[in-house]
Amino acid sequence: MDGGLLARREKRLLHKALRLLDPDFDGIALVDIGAAGAMSGRFAPARDHLHYIGFEPDARSREALLAHPQQCLSYEILPHAIGAAKGETAFHLCRKGEVSSTFCPNRELLDRFPDPARFDLIETASLPVITLDKAGIECCDFLKADIQGGELDALRGGTHRLGSCFGLELEVEF
């Protein structure tokens, strides 16, 4: 079987399985906190079943995402930073948007890795923060969070919304 035929077969099987689990199935709500860099390829087989809601506070990354929307049931990119509580925080904008964070880059550590210039601090701005529970989304079936160390705070602000979530993908560092 060639790759295209196999991919179509996998999509049909996924669709059948989802309909068996819930005859009223109208898609999976994928919430992506820290959406910079576009939707991960691992979600591609389910793309036709996704309602994608991305949160990206960095205007540079948000504009790039909106310029190349993903083919999903619905696609939305929101400009909010998600945290443990509503308020304001410092947002450290780095040369590469995907590594911008509410945490200041630790150059002593980062300089040991390839391409440390991506962490060069361009500016620090004040940024409003909201919680996932107050973000105005109706559903969160699957949550992906990659926000450079702020993942636990995002979870703390989403205890109600995450009550019906069946899957999490989190970047965790030790």
107, 116 Cβ separation under 8 angstroms: yes
Indicate which CATH number applies to the domain containing 77. 3.40.50
Nearest-5° angle of CA 166, CA 170, CA 171?
A: 170
Residue at 66 is within a domain = yes
pLDDT at 101 over 80: yes
Q: What is the pLDDT of residues 103-139, one digit of tens each?
A: 999 999 999 999 999 999 999 999 999 999 999 999 9
Dump pLDDT digits (tens) for 16-44.
666 666 666 688 899 999 998 878 888 88
The pLDDT tens digits of the residues spanning 130-167 come to: 999 999 999 999 999 999 889 999 999 999 999 989 89
Tell me whether residue 21 is in a domain: yes
What's the mean per-residue pLDDT of the chain?
Answer: 88
Cβ atoms of 32 and 9 closer than 8 Å = no
Q: List the domain range (segments joined by +) for residue 151.
A: 3-83+131-170
The structural domain count of the chain equals: 1
Phi, psi dihedral angles at 54 (to 5 degrees): -105, 140
